[in-house]
Amino acid sequence: MSPIKSRFGLGFLALVSVVLVVVVLFQRHRIDLEGRGPLSPMVPETVSGTGTQVPESDSVTVRKAAIPRGATLATVLRGFDVSGPEIHRLVEDTRHVYNLDRVRPGNRLVLELGLDGSLRSVRYDIDEEEYLVGRQMRDRFVATRHRYDLQLEEERVFGEIRTSLTEALISQGENYALVSKVLDILGWDLDFTQLQPQDSVTLLVEKKYRAGRFVKYGDVLAVRFDQMDRSLFGFLFTDPATGKKDYFDEKGNSLRKAFLRVPFKFDPRITSGFSYSRYHPILKRRRPHLGVDYGAPTGTEVISVAAGTVSFTGRKGGYGKMVRIRHGKYSTSYAHLSRIQVRRGQRVEQGDVIGRVGSTGLSTGPHLDYRIQDRSGRFLNPAKLKSPPEKPVAPQHLDAFRGVRSDLMQRLSSFPANAEYFTRKAKSG
Ligand SMILES: [Zn+2]
């Protein structure tokens, strides 16, 4: 070997070393700039051996899908060439944990398929919080149910009413589920169709996150609704004796208001109950009767079953002279009246006389047709409407309630703004 060649070889090695050092230093510098911390040793990770470190792509392929609208699990799996008998076995073997015949559109599915195309495992998101795993073991699918690890955050949400409660909350980045929760809490006291611009709502609500992504709401802990002349409060309080959660105002009164059982000052006779198929005495055919008829002499006083605002008075086809009253989330109507004694827009209290029994409209004799509708206009069976309890906080729990209330009241007003708070919580882990 000539000395020249050897010197050249040494020089080459030195050059390579310098380049390597520069590259390594550059890498380290760049990585430090990106804030990823110290450089890890540049040794390739061994992929030999057994255990979880082996990439599963060697033996299985992973496929992800969301259930399309109108699809079943079978149609989705067949799209991945899973055989009919195997799909059937999967559904049967996992049925005791969850029924995969009833998958919901949009829910996610993760499959592991063997090289031979066989189904090794399925993971199905039952909902935002739970998922099912079916894993093939010796010609059987072993089913297990798991919970995602969700982080619970408490946030303050403020919305000013411009057109509606929905608009106020959606414009703050919230969704309909929260609107619905607020309607349920305050719906007994507040007619949400009669809001004024500049009314405002403030909420203290739990939100559940998975890996930093919002998943769903937890409890609304407190709500405050401000109007020109009044502020309504709702505080979530758990009865220490029963463990039952409910909403109460600042004085400890339940926010649920009961309807009177009947729209009379006495117990009347029911002449026709609530039915989806009743033989109509005048029309002589079967049709739904989505109210209750009470027989009573003409001129008998009819009273409002709850406080509310009169939303309709006048003649309405077969109903004859009718009054409709809105009570927040419900409305009630009183038909075939002989006389109407309230005006549209009038505020009435529970028990106020609103009119007199008659036989106007499609009617065979004096009676009252009484109906209850929910927000969506659906008719409810008055006999089955669970009259919510309106018991206040029990005296022995009032001190506990006052403690909870003061704490929530303070958090309602002094919590930092939504985004700021969440950022801070996320950083603190
Ligand atoms: Zn009727």
423 C-alpha to ligand 1 centroid (Å)? 57
Answer positive or negative: Cα dihedral of 41, 42, 47, 52.
positive
289 C-alpha to ligand 1 centroid (Å)? 6
DSSP for 76-119, written as a single string: HHHHTT--HHHHHHHHHHHTTT--GGG--TT-EEEEEEETTS-E
What phi, psi does 296 have (nearest 5°)? Answer: -160, 150
The series of mean pLDDT values per 10 residues for the chain, 429 residues long, is: 48 54 42 32 32 53 92 93 93 94 92 91 92 93 94 94 92 92 83 82 95 92 92 94 91 85 84 80 78 94 92 96 92 97 93 96 94 91 73 93 95 62 43
196 C-alpha to ligand 1 centroid (Å)? 36
What phi, psi does 230 have (nearest 5°)? Answer: -160, 160
Residue 368, strand partner residues: 294
- Quote the pLDDT of residue 39: 33
The helices-and-strands tally (H runs, E runs) of the chain is 7, 23
Query: 254 to each of 183, 346, 381, 398, 427, how far by Cα in Å?
Result: 15, 25, 24, 13, 38
Q: Enumerate residues 6+ apart whose C-beta is below 8 A from 240.
A: 397, 400
Q: What does DSSP say about strands 231-238 and 245-248: parallel, antiparallel, or unpaired?
A: antiparallel
117 C-alpha to ligand 1 centroid (Å)? 63
183 C-alpha to ligand 1 centroid (Å)? 29
**CA–CA distance, 158 with 414 (Å, rounded to integer):** 12
Q: The pTM is what? A: 0.60
327 C-alpha to ligand 1 centroid (Å)? 21
191 C-alpha to ligand 1 centroid (Å)? 26
**Residue 408, SS3 per DSSP:** helix
347 C-alpha to ligand 1 centroid (Å)? 25
Query: 100 to each of 29, 68, 112, 199, 409, how far by Cα in Å?
Result: 52, 14, 17, 46, 45
300 C-alpha to ligand 1 centroid (Å)? 16
- Quote the pLDDT of residue 13: 56
**CA–CA distance, 14 with 20 (Å, rounded to integer):** 10
Q: How far is CA 401 from the centre of its chain?
A: 26
Q: What does DSSP say about strands 379-380 and 275-279: parallel, antiparallel, or unpaired?
A: unpaired
Nearest to 312 by CA among 340, 292, 293: 340
Answer positive or negative: Cα dihedral of 14, 20, 24, 30.
positive
Q: What domains does the chain contain, in order, with CATH numbers?
A: 59-147 (3.10.450.350), 151-257+415-427 (3.10.450.350), 269-380 (2.70.70.10)
